[in-house]
Amino acid sequence: MKRTTFHALAWLAAMASVASAADAPAVKLEAFPPDVQLTTNRDRQKFIVVATRGDGVTQDVTAAAKVTLANPALVRMEGNTLYPAADGATTLALEYQGQTVTLPVTVKDATVERPISFKLDVMPVFMRSGCNTGSCHGAARGKDGFNLSLFGYDPDGDHHRITHEIGFRRVNLALPRESMLLQKPDGSVPHTGGKRFAPDSEYYATVLRWLEAGVPKDAPEVATPTALELYPPKAVLEGQDTKQQFIARARYSDGTDRDVTNLVVFLTNNDNSAPISADGLVTAAARGEAFIMARFATHTVGSQVLVLPKDLQYAPPTTPPANYVDELVNAKLQRIRVLPSDLCSDEVFLRRATIDITGLLPTIEEYQSFVADADPAKRAKLVDRLLERKEFSEIWALKWANLLMVKTTNEVSYKSMFLYSNWLTNQISSNVPLNQMVQNLLSANGGTFKNPATNYYQIERDTLKTAENVAQVFMGIRTQCTQCHNHPFDRWTMDDYYSFAAFFAQIGRKQGEDYRETIIFNSGGGEVNHPVGARRMAPKFLGGPTPDVNGKDRREVLVKWLASPENPFFATSVANRVWAHFFGLGIVEPVDDIRVSNPASNPELFQALGAKLTSYNYDFKQLVRDMCNSQTYQRASQANASNADDTKNFSHSKIRRIPAENLLDCLTQVTEIQEKFQGLPLGSRAVQIADGQASNYFLSSFGRSPRTTACAGEATTEPTLSQALHMINGDTLTRKIGESKRLQKQLDAGQKPAQVVETIYMACLSRKPSPDEMQRLDALLAAEPNPRNAVDDILWAVLNSREFLFNH
Amino acid sequence: MSSFFHKTSLIGGLVVVLSTVAGQRAVADEAKPAEAKPPAKITYDEHVRPIFREHCFSCHNQDTKKSDLSLASFAGISQGGSTGPVFQPGDADGSRLWSLVSHAEEPKMPPNQDKLPAAKLDVIKAWIAGGALENDGSVAKIKKQPAINLSASGGATKPEGPPPMPEKLPRQPVVYTARAAAVTALAASPWAPLVAVAGQKQISLYNSDNAQLLGVLAFPEGTPHILKFSRSGSLLLAGGGVGAKSGSVIVYDVKSGKRVFEVGDELDVVLAADINEDHTRIALGGPGRVVRIYSTADGSLVHEIRKHTEWIYALEFSPDGVLLATADRSGGMFVWEAETAREYQNLAGHKGAITDVTWRIDSNVLASSSEDGTIKLWEMDGGKEIKSWAAHGGGVASVEFSKDGKLVSAGRDRTTKIWDGNGAAIRELPALGDIATEVAFTHDAARVAAGDWLGEVRLSEVADGKQVAQLPPNPPTLEMLVQSQTAAAATTADAAKKAAAELAAAEAVVAEKAKVSKAAAEAAAAAQANLQNLLAEKAAFDQTQSAQASTGK
């Protein structure tokens, strides 16, 4: 009987696998690129055909598809590559399982030779072959005496260095094949970097062609690549060793395009799941998601690739989503076939939301009334209540103060710092919309006492650094790389960097009447020059247009764009910071490193949150409400079998250590022993400390932000040994427990030790001790003659437990 | 190193005559072990001792030891006699033993007798030449002699006889390339109208008086990066190789084009090299940062100078051969005692790579050119910089002293400039098509050859800066010359034909015109005659009228 069952099950499984596998009919057929343009006799274009099944799985069916050229006289086809034959327009029809897709094909100048170009043909070879990377000739000092610009940011300089820097050595115009430029990479003479390409390769042919042409320099008006396309835009691969070919196409300023599949650098951010070959072939490996990137010239683009195991049994959950957050998170979970965890208990939710929103623990009274409340909407109501508390704005004032590096320095007196901090807290507590706040901050003029927002330009006085900080804090973009070279893994160029910095080139500073005060004003003069060629850079929005700044305060022009819907980065990056606070992880993580090569784990959610923030008129309180009311926020932290490996799709709640300031405040809250911070009255909370310079041992060791840079990662919650030791033995906890009269009062009031222990649990962990715990605690209490000692020890133990230290 | 030293046999009369056997030996041992059969060794024990025993032992045995010389044992003969060593391994003519037994010197041996039979003398001579081996197991310790006459004079005085010019060298290029590469090296003979231009795997020799190609020397080692005529003008040194792969120095005999020396086994090209004034030393350097000095006598490495921290870009022996100046890519420059390779001066001052060094003919002043754009003059007593001037914007690529103390330089500003000995500009020649890379004065300093990055070598007059000719590093092949000459001849023939045709046509036209003119003349004459008749008739009529009038009165 048992045997039969086993067989029956096996048979069922086999059937299921057959049904879900490749035989399932394709519901969508796509071909890439969407159109084919062949210009000049050197052009060519590879195409790929992708079928998508009903369950979203994609298949590379390029080889299986039936290909029909409407007019074969115009195009020569080799495999899946098209070559021009004669001028004209035709179509390419691709048929697979009864579905057809048709690509328009145009051929122009089919017999015209395309002249060799240093920038368009040769430079990409250096990039693809890895010649100009930072570890080779792209290093600042070059390699073995030969220097190329890093990732080719200076093609004219590279041309000079190759041809004229050292006379004959690198190029031999008489015998081009004997040029060192070819002999080194083809391995015919010793090369530290080894063999980069073979003499029969296309790369060799390109460089040779340039050498044979007499190493011509490009005309100044040579086309520039304006865009890079990577196909397919996404792929869902089922089963190990499934393959998908990627192709890349570059578009140029003269309207032409080229198949650059053989010239882009392919990268993957997850080699375990989707390794990619140098030629763009992805082979599915372990289950997971990956981001495939292609880099060409200054462009980096990416496609998302999911790898699923074969024959996965999956039934999507049926619970209706609470709001758009759930819809988008669930959609992603469904795509990767992951089931979310169940919702957490009321007790857990109460503690989680209270800590996240106010930075404090729920009181025993709050706990009792919330648990007793039978209202089905009580969670939403709790969120509303918490959002109205002043502690909410204090947490966010602290977060912004960290990013704005509010602290006393040699340049910033305590007074200005204090005024600045108050200004910031006021902006947040009076619910000034974020865009307004940023505008107030960045366009501020006047004395650092009179208009404390001007301290932004007093804390950081360097023009370039100011621009870097603004991009990082308000757009989540790190532009630091592009000070010296084009960003290797993003779209930003040196031009972008210096033209963005030009907005901050005209900040005037002079001393006020009080020697501690600096007056910030628009000096109306000052420019930023590009280090290569010393071009004067006109102010240009990062990733945006070049505005007219004539006669205007450049910073005012900038902020009107920066904190507006026209800037695609502002709302999304701020929303992502808010998200990261409540979920312990940004949708883009780190939150201030948004780039093509560090894509959002859920791009739709990322965009939706930004759009919502904009539609709420930049009132982020509303956004917090959306987040906290979502099921996603309210999920249990316990993983299920399906989502145990998921770390970035919010399928279960992330356990997070409580940040330093909040943790100290919570300790104060439960022991009722107040802290004295420098410059603040006794009883102030750690989140209220204005000066980044002021700290104490507890805060420092638990990772309070030192506010030395504008990085979000300055405040850490990484565990360290000193934290553990400080909790066990340090004076903070010892003093607080030793001096605390709370438990004594309860004992004095006639409460039994067991009752006191219950209040300890409710105050610290927002729950009652379990019967099992109580049983063991009773034994301890019975063994200790002095009840005060016993409850103190239990309090110590609870405060040292991970359950207390973490928000779960 | 020695495997690179070919004792290229029998160059004109310059070779020290070795016995055939020994000559073959040397070649066999050192050059082509695979090709020649090793000859039987001539040893003391086997061949020479019997001769001595027969003719000499009566006086020179180990007991009698006349003049303290015993020929009865190898140890004895090696010890020599009262006058010192009696033989010099490898050099029979320089051995007292040979001088006496061959009766070239007094006292003739054996005393008061005829010379030994020629066959026996040959054995003795061959024995010495072969290294004076004791027995079969012995290894020759020949102190090798230079393969050519070392009696070259210092650079200042003209050697006797007509200055060497190539004689009947092949003019067929080794490689023909449509385009020339950047000019890597140029040199002019100090005494003859001869300019050498580096090309690909070859060196082209041009007559600088008429720009005729005199011959092409093969340089299969790669590309020459340095060309230098010896001070006497009889040898041409070429250093170069294949970048990042190999480098060596070849010295050619100018007249015959034959290879005289080959030294160096570098792992990258040789960028700088020179041969000293008496042809005994060759110095070379390159990306390896080490200056190596070789003996031309046996190709052995004599000194290595490891002081430079960067690529050696330039070096030159002083005309008197006493000093050696070397310079590198980071601006380091030193002067060494040529014989000992001891540091003599450290010439610090250039801010960029030093591209060239050149000595004034009196060996007291050194000029250096640099990528920092300056030319500097240094005196040799204290190593002081005595002059420095900005010569070429962007960098100076090459500089050379003429025998009369002028300087010529070229650089990244594409120009060639001529300076007097104090750095005062004399003339600037028209700019080349790209950055200038090399420059040289002809032997009489009347002309200048300058080469650029595009591979153009321009020969110009110093006096007026006018370009006289081009000296291409990539001369055309003979086939191409034949073709172009044939084409030229054909064109000439065509032109002659055409001219004849034109002449004929013209003649026809002339004849026609003559006819017309004759007809016209005839017509004119007829008209004239007619007129005369009419006039006569009229006169007659008038006369008649007046006569009638007078009678009618």
**B485-495 tens-digit pLDDT:** 888 888 888 88
The pLDDT tens digits of the residues spanning A362-386 come to 999 999 999 999 999 999 999 999 9
Residue type (1 letter), A694: A
What is the C-alpha R_g of chain A?
A: 32
**In terms of pLDDT, which residue wins out, B131 or A161?**
A161
The pLDDT tens digits of the residues spanning A512-552 come to 999 999 999 999 899 999 988 889 999 999 989 999 999 99
**Cis? peptide before A603, omega within 30° of 0:** no
Check B454 against A173: CB less than 8 A apart: yes
Q: Looking at chain B, which residue has its C-alpha nearest residue A191?
A: B244
Residue pair A291/A260 in contact by the 8 Å Cβ criterion? no
Residue pair B386/B412 in contact by the 8 Å Cβ criterion? no
Residue pair A364/A387 in contact by the 8 Å Cβ criterion? no
B471 band by pLDDT with thresholds 50, 70 and 90: very high
The pLDDT tens digits of the residues spanning A255-308 come to 999 999 999 999 999 999 999 999 999 999 999 999 999 999 889 999 999 999
Q: What is the mean pLDDT of residues A418-424?
A: 93
Check A214 against B474: CB less than 8 A apart: no
CA A180 to chain B, closest CA, distance in angstroms equals 7
Check B177 against A175: CB less than 8 A apart: yes
Rounded distance between C-alpha atoms, residue A781 and residue A793, angstroms: 10
Q: Nearest to residue B291, comparing CAs of B217, B212, B375, B226? A: B226
DSSP codes of every residue in A52-118: EETTS-EEE-TTTSEEEES-TTTEEEETTEEEE-SSEEEEEEEEETTEEEEEEEEEESTTPPPPP-I
Q: Nearest to residue A76, comparing CAs of A45, A31, A33, A103? A: A45
**Torsions phi, psi of B252, nearest 5?**
-110, 150
Residue type (1 letter), A436: Q
The pLDDT tens digits of the residues spanning A772-790 come to 999 999 998 999 889 999 9
What is the C-alpha R_g of chain B?
A: 38
Q: How far apart are the first and last CA of chain A?
A: 47
CA B469 to chain A, closest CA, distance in angstroms equals 21
Residue A191 touches chain B, beta carbons under 8 Å: yes
Q: Which residues share a beta bridge with B249? A: B239, B263
Report the residue of B174, B175, B223 to disrupt the A interface, i.e. the one with the largest count of A CBs within 10 Å.
B223
Residues comprising chain A, all counted: 808
pLDDT of residue B550: 66
Residue B158, token pair as written in the block: 């003209």
Q: How many percent of chain A have pLDDT more than 70? A: 97
- Per CB-CB distance under 8 Å, the chain B contacts of A146 are none
Residue A158, token pair as written in the block: 């590279």
Q: Which residues share a beta bridge with A282? A: A244, A276
Q: Which of B177, B181, B453 sits opposite A164 (nearest CB)?
A: B453
Check A189 against B199: CB less than 8 A apart: no
Residue pair A483/A490 in contact by the 8 Å Cβ criterion? no
Which residues of chain B have a Cβ shorter than 8 Å from any chain A Cβ?
175, 177, 179-184, 199-200, 223, 225, 242-245, 267, 311, 397, 434-435, 437, 453-455, 473-474
Average pLDDT, chain B: 86
Rounded distance between C-alpha atoms, residue A38 and residue A44, angstroms: 6
Confirm whether pTM is higher than 0.80. no
DSSP codes of every residue in A520-570: EEE-S----B-TTTTPBPPP--TTS-----TTS-HHHHHHHHHTSTTSTTH
The pLDDT tens digits of the residues spanning A163-198 come to 999 989 999 999 999 999 999 999 899 998 899 999
Check A164 against B435: CB less than 8 A apart: yes
DSSP codes of every residue in A156-202: HHHHHHHHTTTTTSS--SSSGGG-HHHHTTTTSS--TT---S-TTSH
The pLDDT tens digits of the residues spanning B381-426 come to 999 999 999 999 999 999 999 999 999 999 999 999 999 999 999 9
- Listed range (A76-80, A239-243, B113-117, B241-245) with the worst mean pLDDT: B113-117
Residue pair A266/A224 in contact by the 8 Å Cβ criterion? no
The C-alpha angle with vertex B224 and arms to B221 and B228, in degrees rounded to 5, equals 125
How many angstroms separate the Cα of A67 from the Cα of each of A37, A74, A223? Answer: 17, 15, 33
Check B179 against A174: CB less than 8 A apart: yes
- Per CB-CB distance under 8 Å, the chain B contacts of A164 are 434-435, 453
Q: What is the mean pLDDT of residues A216-229?
A: 93
Q: Is the dihedral of CA A62, A68, A71, A72 positive or negative?
A: positive
Residue A585 CB coordination number (10 Å): 18
- Judged by DSSP in three states, B526 sits in helix
pLDDT of residue B111: 82
Rounded distance between C-alpha atoms, residue B197 and residue A440, angstroms: 72
DSSP codes of every residue in A629-691: HSTTTTB-SS--TTTTT-SSS-SSPPPEEPPHHHHHHHHHHHH------TTS-TT--GGG---
pLDDT of residue B155: 60
Rounded distance between C-alpha atoms, residue A762 and residue A805, angstroms: 15
Residue B368, CA atoms < 13 Å, CB-side half-sphere? 34
Q: To which H or E segment does residue B27 belong?
A: helix B20-30
Rounded distance between C-alpha atoms, residue B417 and residue B460, angstroms: 11
Q: Looking at chain A, which residue has its C-alpha nearest residue B246?
A: A189
Those residues with Cβ within 8 angstroms of residue B104's Cβ, 6 or more apart along the chain or in another chain: B98
Buried b (16+ CB within 10 A) or exposed e, B71-104: bbebebbeebbeeeebbbbbbbbebbbbbbbbee
Q: Nearest to residue B268, comparing CAs of B317, B329, B221? A: B221
Rounded distance between C-alpha atoms, residue A58 and residue A236, angstroms: 5
Residue A29, CA atoms < 13 Å, CB-side half-sphere? 19
Q: Are strands B436-441 and B425-429 parallel, antiparallel or unpaired?
A: unpaired
pLDDT of residue B130: 82
Q: Nearest to residue B198, comparing CAs of B239, B164, B167? A: B239
Q: Which of B179, B397, B437 sits opposite A173 (nearest CB)?
A: B179
Q: How many percent of chain A have pLDDT more than 90? A: 80
Q: To which H or E segment does residue A481 belong?
A: none
Q: Are strands B301-305 and A507-511 parallel, antiparallel or unpaired?
A: unpaired
DSSP codes of every residue in B47-61: IIHHHHHHHTTTTSS
DSSP codes of every residue in B164-187: P---S---S-SS--SSPPPP--EE
Q: What is the mean pLDDT of residues A469-482?
A: 93
Q: Nearest to residue A169, comparing CAs of A188, A184, A153? A: A184
Average pLDDT, chain A: 91
- Judged by DSSP in three states, B204 sits in strand
Residue A721 CB coordination number (10 Å): 8
- Per CB-CB distance under 8 Å, the chain A contacts of B474 are 174
Q: Which residues share a beta bridge with A77? A: A82
Helix boundaries (H) for A112-154: 123-128
Check A175 against B242: CB less than 8 A apart: no
Q: Which of A168, A183, A188 sits opposite B181 (nearest CB)?
A: A168
- Listed range (A37-41, A109-113, A346-350, B54-58) with the worst mean pLDDT: B54-58
Q: What is the mean pLDDT of residues B87-92?
A: 81
Q: Looking at chain B, which residue has its C-alpha nearest residue A181?
A: B243
Residue A372 touches chain B, beta carbons under 8 Å: no
DSSP codes of every residue in B208-235: TTT--EEEEEE-TTSEEEEEEE-TTSSE
- What DSSP state is assigned to residue B46? I
**Cis? peptide before A376, omega within 30° of 0:** no
CA B476 to chain A, closest CA, distance in angstroms equals 13
Report the residue of A173, A181, A182 to disrupt the B interface, i.e. the one with the largest count of B CBs within 10 Å.
A173
Q: Is the pLDDT of residue A123 over 60?
A: yes
pLDDT of residue B114: 80
- Judged by DSSP in three states, B161 sits in coil
Those residues with Cβ within 8 angstroms of residue A62's Cβ, 6 or more apart along the chain or in another chain: A47, A48, A49, A50, A80, A245
- Judged by DSSP in three states, A470 sits in helix
Residue B236, CA atoms < 13 Å, CB-side half-sphere? 35
Q: Is the pLDDT of residue A6 over 70?
A: no
- Per CB-CB distance under 8 Å, the chain A contacts of B454 are 173
